[in-house]
Amino acid sequence: MDGDGGELPEIRLREVGRTSPLVHVVGRIVSLRRREVLRRSDGSRRPLLSGWLTDGSATLRFTWWDPPREGIDRGTILRAVGAEIREFRGRAELVFSWKTKIAPAGPAELPPLDPTALPLRSLRELQDRDEGFRVEVRLVRVGAKPVSVGEERRVVYEGVLADRSGAVSFAAWSDFRLRAGESIRVAGGYVRSFRGRRQLVLDERSWVERIESSGLPEPEELLLSSPRPISDLEEEGGGEAAALEGIVVGLLPPSGLIYRCPACRRVLGGGLCRVHGAVTGTADLRARLVVDDGTGSATVVADRAATERLWGVSLEEARARLREVEDPAVLEEQLAEAMVGRRLRVRGSATVDDFGLQVAPESIETAEIDLEAAAEELSARLGGGA
């Protein structure tokens, strides 16, 4: 790599774009991709390295023309003097050219992260691609999940964080020894959109501190939050701690007795899995309920336990019924007859897709209908429309 230089003062990545068109920065590579581009002038191929660089205050995309063939990997810390700034999709991007002086750097050369210097934000304020902030939150739940990143096997810790303004999911790529119920202060994370919802991402550059829980909601409080109009949840794109209440107005297929792939748990169609082909399926119960509250509708997918409890029919009983009628559609009709018209209170994570609001429930309860209050509401609506 090129030698270093001191012509430009070192700045934090969050300051890039606010000063001169050439900057001096130190950062850690958190992702990268090598490729070659075709030169229009002579048809030769030119090597290019692109990825993301972070120093804890911000994460910026970078493009490196003619990089070294080796020695640059994820986790590499480097010092770049004379990096050019350009705009890419509305955000500042670093460009390393032959004019840029680049040298390896050590962890001690990374600017120290001072969490108190970052603005305190509420979860409701966070937007996609936000970074350079700190939050004080309650850890509602967390679990470890093995994943494949290219050829590398890693563990990601996923869960839900909450404060008084709302809740978001998170993914931590480092083990911060997080435990459900803890109150923590987090800095150095960033926000991305995942499955249509905001997600806070933490990695090795993030900072986590245990704090007193004053002012933060208890996990139990999220389970007692009042139901919200479905139209509001849909407009907000769902949420991690959504609560709604409405009438079951329909049942979507396939519901009732279904069969899943033993390898990936996908629902089979005609004995075929979309991934594994012809397999011997594992029997299961589920109910894809359409719940309406007058402002909108949502699809609530009840798992086996919830379906058995709401229907009053176990998986074994459903299989026995199938042996008698030999038509799964009959079981689906029986399930619909038992469910349509019932009022349910649902809590769980909600997303919005092309088919509307979809809820993966953590709890489903039968809600008693106050006939007197319902009659008064109906009368008020009819009177207002007269």
> Which has more confidence, 357 or 43?
357
Band (4; pLDDT cuts 50, 70, 90): very low
pLDDT at 26: 93
Lowest mean pLDDT among 324-328, 333-337, 355-359: 324-328
Q: Residues 172-187: pLDDT tens digits?
A: 988 999 999 999 999 8
pLDDT at 246: 95
**CA 162, CA 138: separation in Å to the nearest integer?**
5
DSSP reduced 3-state for 164: coil
**CA 384, CA 373: separation in Å to the nearest integer?**
16
Mean pLDDT, range 347-368, rounded to an integer:
88
> Which has more confidence, 56 or 377?
56
The two three-digit tokens of residue 249, written as one number: 């107005």
Residue owning tokens 């964080």: 161
The domain spans of the chain are 13-109, 115-221, 226-375
Cβ neighbors of 43 (< 8 A, separation 6 or more) are none
Lowest mean pLDDT among 124-138, 193-207, 337-351: 193-207
**CA 206, CA 356: separation in Å to the nearest integer?**
35
Average pLDDT, the chain: 86
Hey, which CATH number is domain 226-375, 2.40.50.140, 1.10.10.10, 3.30.360.10, 3.40.190.10? Answer: 2.40.50.140
- Give strand pairing partners of 302: 287
Is the per-residue pLDDT at 129 higher than 70? Answer: yes
| Cα angle 275, 277, 278; round to 5 | 150
In this chain, the answer to whether the domains covering 13-109 and 115-221 adopt an identical fold is yes
Band (304; pLDDT cuts 50, 70, 90): very high
Is the per-residue pLDDT at 257 higher than 90? Answer: yes
DSSP reduced 3-state for 373: helix
The fold of 13-109 is OB fold (Dihydrolipoamide Acetyltransferase, E2P) (2.40.50)
Q: Residues 211-235: pLDDT tens digits?
A: 987 788 887 776 667 888 999 998 8
Mean pLDDT, range 79-84, rounded to an integer:
94
- The structural architecture, per CATH, of the domain 115-221 is Beta Barrel (2.40)
Is the per-residue pLDDT at 29 higher than 60? Answer: yes
The alpha helices in the chain, defined as continuous H runs, are 219-223, 230-235, 304-311, 315-325, 328-339, 371-384
Mean pLDDT, range 5-22, rounded to an integer:
79
Question: What pairing do the DSSP bridges indicate for beta strands 22-38 and 45-54?
Answer: antiparallel
Is the per-residue pLDDT at 3 higher than 60? Answer: no
**CA 225, CA 165: separation in Å to the nearest integer?**
12
